[in-house]
Amino acid sequence: MPLRFIAPIPKPHYPKQFKHLGDHLRAKRIDRGLFQKEVAARIGVDTATVTNWELGNTEPEERFIPALIRFLGYNPLPRE
């Protein structure tokens, strides 16, 4: 009997590792089937801002952290 391996198929553009907050944001957005502009509207920022967060080019200002945590459903930030 031949062996058969079963593994989940990775989602396109899904982060392989969660290195920064933008990775968490991208994963949740993909899981929910949302566009960046929809996430931006929910958080109250421009679409380019979400793009920069997801790419790791910029980090969110402190004033946006509560909205990000509400969107994600958890706090991805390391505790100090």
Query: What is the per-residue DSSP string for 20-70?
Result: SHHHHHHHHHHHHT--HHHHHHHHTS-HHHHHHHHHTSS---GGGHHHHHH
Look at residue 75 and give its three-state secondary structure. coil
40-52 mean pLDDT = 96
Give percent of the chain with pLDDT exceeding 70: 91
Rounded CA-CA distance 36/6 in Å is 32
Ordered by where they begin, the domains of the chain are 21-72 (1.10.260.40)
Task: Decide: residue 33, CB within 10 A, 0-12 exposed, 13-18 middle, 19+ buried.
Answer: exposed
| pLDDT band for position 70 (cuts 50, 70, 90) | very high
Q: Does the pLDDT value for residue 9 go beyond 70?
A: no
pTM (predicted TM-score) = 0.80
Q: Does the pLDDT value for residue 8 go beyond 90?
A: no
